[in-house]
Structure 1
Amino acid sequence: MAPRLLLCDCEKTQTLDAKAIERATGLACSRVHTSLCATERGEAAQLIASGEVIVACGQEHAFFEALAEAVGAPDPLCVDIRDRAGWSKDRASKAPKIAALLAIARLAPPPEKTFDVVSEGLCLILGESAVALPTAARLADALSVTCVLSDAPEPPTATRRAFDTHRGRIRSASGALGAFSVTFDGFEEGRPGGREPGFAPPTDGAESECDIILDLRGGPPLFPAYEKREGYLRADPGDPNAVARAVFDAAQMVGTFEKPLHIAFTESLCAHSRAGQTGCTRCLDLCPTGAIAPDGDSVRIDPLICAGCGACAAVCPSGAAAHDNPPAAHVFALTRIAAAAYRDAGGDAPRLLVHDSAHGREMISLAARCGRGLPADVVPLEVEALAGFGHAEMLVALANGFTTIDMLLGPKADRQAIEPQIELAAALANGAGVGAGRIRMLDPVDPDALSDALYVTAPPALKPTPILPLDARRAATRLAAKALAGEDTPAPYDLPGGAPYGAVLLNQDACTLCLSCASLCPTAALTDNPDKPQLRFQEDACLQCGLCATICPENAITLAPRMNLADAAFSQIVLHEEEPYPCIECGALFGVRSTVERIVEKLEGKHSMFTNSDNTRLIRMCDDCRVKAQYHGESAPLFGGDRPHVRTTQDYLDERKS
């Protein structure tokens, strides 16, 4: 049985057409209430107790959940249609957008994968004594505190030793909440004995392990993107409010915490390196927290440090790093059902506004409360990781029928990761024939600027194509681009540098068919032919990782980032082939004729080992014949000369006669 939709015009500040919303959503709607969270709370309790309901109010979700608990009913689904649709100066019908918002809210995300992080309250405080020591005294009752000072403290006046005090210079720091490790140079261990406690002689390389770091030094942070490093608290020592806030936060970091597993990593798909040669470094170059490090031919992602920005998943060409909170398939489904619900409700050309849960949500609420709000055709989609909404998600949204994609950035957005994805998605869409201007990056300074950027004439509507991409972002990109192109498949078109799609261009005059590129290609986009000297290439499988160009001894390979939507991209083509060389002993074909002849020309009569000998014949032999020739030759390591004649009785008799 479908849930019932409870409508409220929020003290008559928005106009809701219950019948239009009912037709648009297919849900039975209540009458339009005026104050469900205040004067009509009794009726709200009865409606919640009567069965499954959806409350069309996001601001007071805590109140309605408490009301459901009071009447013994499950928590209702609360959807914000006021800030996102109702409070708008646009006079067009909001019913299609409300239908899309409800469709998004009703699609439950998959269960979140988590692991436990344990913090026992071991707190390391860094800074000068004037600030660090009073702070340590305040935290000593709640945490196990150790101070490492950067200066010489004044003689102590306290009679009780509540924490340890040392001195030292920080060399390095690593880890996250529950697993920090800090190395000090010039470390002087505190000696509490005597009337005036002193310090031991300095040593280098002293290590300290702790659960929490409270950094009051006032200098550069210990970690990149330090605000995303759980357990690391940094405050300006000259700001008492900031120090007090950090003390409060540190006191709460004791116990067992659930940390989401943001990234699912498949090592076998990683194209970072092969045989000591570096290939793809996209995730390493982008990770803001330093959670990714090389690990042999692959990389390693530290789940403790990973902040879930999703940048690595957005740029990973092979799918080795996949965002798992939520997975890409869920985001694809969100855009599909939102566009479908909007059009089924009578809408024509929806636009998608992608934003985060902090800055973006607040900007939309302020624009609705204080300004013009969002246009009726703009459907906001809230995502946990803005950088994780990459070119694949953008292309799929366009293919599903959204006319434009706007990415609403915030002050803490990972622009280094988002901007190239927007550029790549725009190039993919433009090359598919939908025109420029479909994908934008919005960075408004205030809510009014956000409204001004959205109240513009949109490009012509796109005809939605029913596609069902699964979790593979690479395949989803190609599927969406092909759907946008329609029946007229465009010729291969160029993409920005660094794109994970493209071709390999080969200088045939320089290529010697050594096939080192084929042996290292992580996806078998480059392969050999066991029957003849031949180098083959399949464009669809090429990640543009660069391993082939790096390993080629002749520098014969260059990369060409592009998108080829033709079916030929799935077929193998011959980049280069030559005539094989016949073995001079058995006639079997082996090697490349030009290479064998070139080697013989360079060595015969010009090298001491190939002068006045038959060694050049070995070069012209296949592997089997070469082994046989060396085994039976006089230069073989086990060759002992001719076997001596076996002496018989007749030999002795003949010798006696002679």
Structure 2
Amino acid sequence: MTLDRPALSRALAATPAASAEGIADVHSALCRREAPAFQRAARSGEELLIGCTQESRLFLELAEQTEGAPPLAERPIRFFNLRETGGWSRDGAAATPKLAALIAAAQLPPPEPVATVGYRSAGRCLVVGPAARAEAAAALLGDALDLTLLVDGGALAQRHDQVVLRGRLTRLTGWLGTFEAGWQSANPIDLDLCTRCNACIAACPEGAIDFSYQVDLARCTAHRDCVAACQAAGAIDFGRNARNEEARFDLVLDLGELPTLAMHQPPQGYVHVPPGAPLTQAVLQLRGWVGEFDKPRFFRYEQRLCAHTRNQQVGCSACIDVCSAQAIRSDASLKGKTAARGRGSVGHPTAGIVVEPHLCVGCGACGTVCPSGALSFAYPTPADLGKRVRTLLRTHAAAGGRDAALLLHSQEEGTAAIESLGRAASIGRAHGVPARVLPLAVWHSASVGLDVWLAALAQGASQVWVLTGSTEAPQYLQALAAQMAQAQAIVHGLGYAGQHFRLIPAGDTAALDEALRAPPAQGVAQAASFVVQADKRKTLELALAHLLAQSPQAVPEAIALPAPGALYGSVRVDAAKCTLCLACVGACPSQALSDNPDQPQLRFTEKSCVQCGLCQTTCPEDAIRLEPRLLLADGGRARAQARVLHEAEPFHCVRCAKPFGTLRAIETMLTKLAGHAAFQGAAAERLKMCSDCRVVDMYSNPQELRITDL
């Protein structure tokens, strides 16, 4: 690496980092001949940050063996990558601002821990598939797991070492430690009772029984010699009805051609190995899934913000559609009912959705596509991630860096791709990560969305790129692309030139090397100082306000946004259809739609609209349509002001003259009920009265009181 110690020291001293105290020493062989320098630092008791991840094991061992050094439990050592991400590049000599930014970000404390989700497995494993394949797997797992084999064809071995059942798997649900399986068995021979003595095979005159120990009913002609031969075991019963059985397991090994659980991210504890594929990796996984385990609860859910359903009407389903683990389900059908839930489920019988934390794999895509912020990623929180992004950008700029491109990548596949690129650059076979590109590892590439992207642009980034891996679910890529289309439409509409957002595949090193050398796009003249909020909509408002204030040109009154996936927009009301029943007001989860208590009006505050569509699906007159857009009139202030979408002349009570309802609504009701026998004479007249006068009139004329009035 090319390291300019004085320049790097000056850069760190000029940055906003809290502990930027300059650099005393720069080492080129710290993990070998200069190791005593590390040991001296270890004895100091100060926090240690190592800018290389290659020899982390060696450094930890040296720290433990260094006399006078505090125990690692009291003073942990943290490692971060300076070499492949910045130093090993043809831009290495110009990478001082970038190295300063990476060092400053590494000094930030780790995110606060979150609640965990627990699993408990005793090793009860169901193996499903052809007999020979299932028994081969059992030979590798039998010493560690309690096995049950559910086979669907093929000869069985003579030895009977495990519980073996014959049947067709009909149902499988659950996760590690709680799988529930159901299967159907219809053969006269019960494999659990069969001793495999072969007497039935020898006795059958039609050869309808073979070493699968099942009767081929198409060949059997009811001699029943097999029944007589099996009297001692009693395993054969032709009068046995087809049986539906079920049991609970901790683990499932599925050896069928197609997976029973076909989601992109199957639950932990379930492994599918198709025919012909080696069993080695699956065996290692299953053997390791015995005991008690924890994982972070990756999400936060606020029911009050959810725009999925109101009054049995379904609106936004973005989180359900994007979840590759099928961990999110609609709760609309459970309104007003008591719902049975899995342990630790989040939700309520009247809530919009239910999220099962045991199935959640932590991709964070649900929070990325959620328009209201009801779902958010918790590990780290948007505020924690935003602090890291802000530190990178501020430090890079303070150290003299320009046109920063923020490269978000996953901690595993993305990190490996960047390290491969740096390795190729070290031997001259690639350019390497450019000096202006700031890599930032996140838990999953789909966990960061529009709020953080736009905040990064407002805080001085020229571009935001997301590195995607080959194992990403297709719906993740579609969701990220749709969100980037929203972001790019907003930024272009505000007058910023260039391509600011990109999805970059991580699979090919040469293609990645070329993609990272894309030219910069136009950014803000002055970086914003706000911090990312926990509330997604608040962060978006802060970012949009700064981008609007810094816009390089006059902006239009509104920017059209692509659909679906728009987080902002208006609603159009067909005045010829609307009766001002205000059902849409009751359905709106964000209070974007409201009424006027003093007169018949439907009002709308565009800033609050999340484009969920609940108003559109609720409207009984089909009078509402969504209009995805970002309103910029009056410097963006018009978005926060309520405006009237529709109003009508009020209808006045014929008894007291108090206004109630609308003239059109009452006239429509009178027309529809004109021929109804229950609404004639005085009853029809009462339809023109307010609720108070209607009661007074009914009891003033008791001889005319009807059941329909009551």
Query: Normalized against structure 1, the TM-score is what?
Result: 0.90
The alpha-carbon deviation at position 69 of structure 1 amounts to 2.3
* 1:20 aligned partner: 7
**Other structure's SS at 2:557 match:** coil
SS in 2 for 1:332: helix
Contact 2:125–2:249, Cα closer than 8 Å, also in 1: yes
Equivalence map 1:449-598=2 (5 Å): 449-463=511-525, 464-486=527-549, 490-498=556-564, 499-565=566-632, 566-598=636-668
Aligned with 1:123 (options 117, 122, 125): 125
SS for the counterpart of 1:38 is: coil
Partner of 2:58: 63
Cα distance, 1:635–1:357 mapped onto 2, change above 3 Å? same
Contact 1:372 1:448 (C-alpha < 8 Å) held by counterparts: no
Alignment of 1:302-313 (within 5 A): 302-313=356-367
- The question of whether the paired residues in 2 share the 8 Å contact of 1:293 and 1:301 is answered with yes
d(CA) in 1 for partners of 2:331, 2:541: 30
What is the rounded CA distance, in whole Å, between the counterparts of 1:288 and 1:265 in structure 2?
Answer: 18
SS at match of 2:32: coil
Deviations 1:267-292 (A, max 9, x none): 22212111111111111111111000
1:31 aligns with 2:25: yes
Amino acid at match of 1:628: V
Structure 1 counterpart of 2:469, from 410, 420, 436:
410
Q: In 1, distance between residues paired with 2:139 and 2:505?
A: 44
The Cα shift of 1:336 comes to: 0.8
Cα RMSD after superposing both structures:
2.1
Counterpart position of 1:448? 510
The CA distance in 2 between the partners of 1:366 and 1:153, in whole Å, is: 48
Alpha carbons 2:176, 2:250 under 8 Å: kept = yes
2:406, 2:464 within 8 Å by CA — same for their partners in 1? yes
More moved, 521-530 vs 443-452: 443-452
Equivalent residues of 1:271, 1:318 under 8 A apart: yes
The one-letter code matched in structure 1 to 2:33 is T
Distance 1:218 1:82 in 2: 44
Q: Distance in 1 between matches of 2:624 and 2:591?
A: 16
Distance 2:60 2:76 in 1: 5
For residues 204 and 273 of structure 1, the distance between their equivalents in structure 2, rounded to whole angstroms, comes to 40
Q: Which amino acid aligns with 2:254?
A: D
User: Relative to 1, partners in 2 of residues 1:138 and 1:524: Cα closer, same or farther, differing over 3 Å?
Assistant: same
Deviation at 1:50, TM superposition (A): 2.1
Distance 1:603 1:115, change over 3 A: closer
Q: How far off is 1:365 after superposition?
A: 1.1
State the AA in 1 paired with 2:376: A
CA separation of 1:444/1:75 partners in 2, compared to 1, >3 Å: closer, same or farther? closer
| Structure 1 residue 483, shift from structure 2 partner | 0.8
- Matched position secondary structure for 2:81: coil
Query: Do the aligned partners of residues 602 and 171 (structure 1) sit closer, same or farther apart at CA in structure 2, a change above 3 Å counting?
Result: closer
- Equivalent of residue 245 in structure 1, options 277, 281, 287: 281
Partner of 1:594, secondary structure, is helix
Name the SS of the counterpart of 2:165 in structure 1: strand
1:27 CA drift (Å): 3.3
Query: Residue 644 of structure 1 aligns with which residue?
Result: none
C-alpha deviation, 1:372, in angstroms: 1.7
In the other structure, the counterpart of 2:434 is 375
1:186 is matched with which residue?
A: 185
Residues 104, 392 of structure 2: 8 Å contact kept:
yes
- SS class of match (2:26): strand
Q: SS at 1:233's partner residue?
A: strand
**Equivalent residue, structure 1, for 2:337:** none
Greater CA deviation, 415-424 or 178-187? 178-187
1:633-652 alignment, distance < 5 Å: 633=701, 634-636=703-705
What is aligned with 1:326? 380
- Is the Cα contact below 8 Å between 1:432 and 1:481 reproduced in 2? no
- Equivalent residue number for residue 413 of structure 2: 359
Aligned pairs, number: 618
Query: Unmatched 5+ residue regions in structure 1?
Result: 1-13, 640-658
Shift of 1:521: 1.2
Is 1:259 matched up with 2:295?
yes
The residue that corresponds to 2:43 in the other structure is: 49
Cα displacement (A) at 1:602: 5.1
Report the Cα distance in structure 1 between the residues aligned to 2:261 and 2:307, rounded to whole angstroms: 30
Q: Which shows bigger deviation, 250-259 or 177-186?
A: 177-186
Within the alignment, does 1:430 sit opposite 2:513 as a pair?
no
User: Is the aligned partner of 1:231 residue 2:269?
Assistant: yes
| CA offset digits 1:57-102 (Å, max 9, x no partner) | 1222222122222233323222211101110012552111011111
Distance 1:112 1:40 in 2: 39
More deviation, 430-439/337-346: 430-439
| Structure-1 separation of matches of 2:362 and 2:626 | 31
> CA-to-partner distance for each residue in 1:587-642, whole Å, 9 max, x for gaps?
211111222234335555x444455x233311211111112222233232599xxx
Report matched runs for 1:206-217 at 5 Å: 206-217=245-256
Partners in 1 of 2:459 and 2:482 — Cα distance?
Answer: 22
* Residues 199/458 of structure 1: CA separation in 2 closer, same or farther (3 Å cut): farther
What is the aligned partner in structure 1 of residue 102 from structure 2? Answer: 101
- In the superposition, relative to structure 1, how do residues 92 and 561 fare at CA in structure 2: closer, same or farther (>3 Å)? farther
Q: Tell me the secondary structure at the aligned position of residue 54 of structure 1.
A: strand
Question: What residue in structure 2 maps to residue 9 of structure 1?
Answer: none
Higher relative contact order (CA 8 A, sep 6+): 2
Q: Alpha-carbon deviation of 1:29? A: 2.1
8 Å CA contact 1:171–1:183 kept in 2: the answer is yes
The answer to whether 1:401 aligns with 2:460 is yes
Q: Distance in 2 between matches of 1:305 and 1:416?
A: 22
Structure 1 stretch displaced more, 37-46 or 576-585:
37-46
Contact 2:653–2:659 (CA<8 Å) still a contact in 1? yes
1:142: Cα distance to partner?
0.7
Q: Which residue of 2 aligns with 1:277?
A: 313
Q: For residues 361 and 636 of structure 1, do their structure 2 counterparts lie closer, same or farther at Cα, with a shift above 3 Å needed?
A: same
Structure 1: distance between partners of 2:236 and 2:43: 68
Alignment correspondent of 1:222: 261
Shift of 1:31: 2.5
Query: Aligned letter for 2:99?
Result: I
User: Judging changes above 3 Å, is the alpha-carbon distance between structure 1 residues 98 and 582 closer, same or farther for their aligned structure 2 residues?
Assistant: same
1:113: how far off?
A: 2.5
1: CA distance, partners of 2:244 / 2:101: 59
Bigger CA radius of gyration: 1
SS in 2 for 1:381: strand
Structure 1: how far apart are the matches of 2:519 and 2:296? Answer: 41
**What are the ranges of 5 or more consecutive residues in structure 2 without an aligned counterpart?**
13-19, 199-212, 214-234, 333-350, 425-429
Which amino acid letter does the alignment assign opposite residue 531 of structure 2?
L
Q: Secondary structure at the match of 1:62?
A: helix
The one-letter amino acid paired with 2:665 is T
Does the Cα contact within 8 Å between 1:85 and 1:376 map onto a contact in 2? yes
Are the counterparts in 1 of residues 486 and 561 from structure 2 also a CA contact under 8 Å?
yes
User: Structure 1 vs Structure 2: percent identity of aligned residues?
Assistant: 35
The answer on whether the counterparts of 2:150 and 2:164 sit within 8 Å (CA) in structure 1 is: yes
Rounded to whole Å, the distance in 1 between the matches of 2:479 and 2:515 is 22
Give 1:549 deviation, angstroms.
0.7
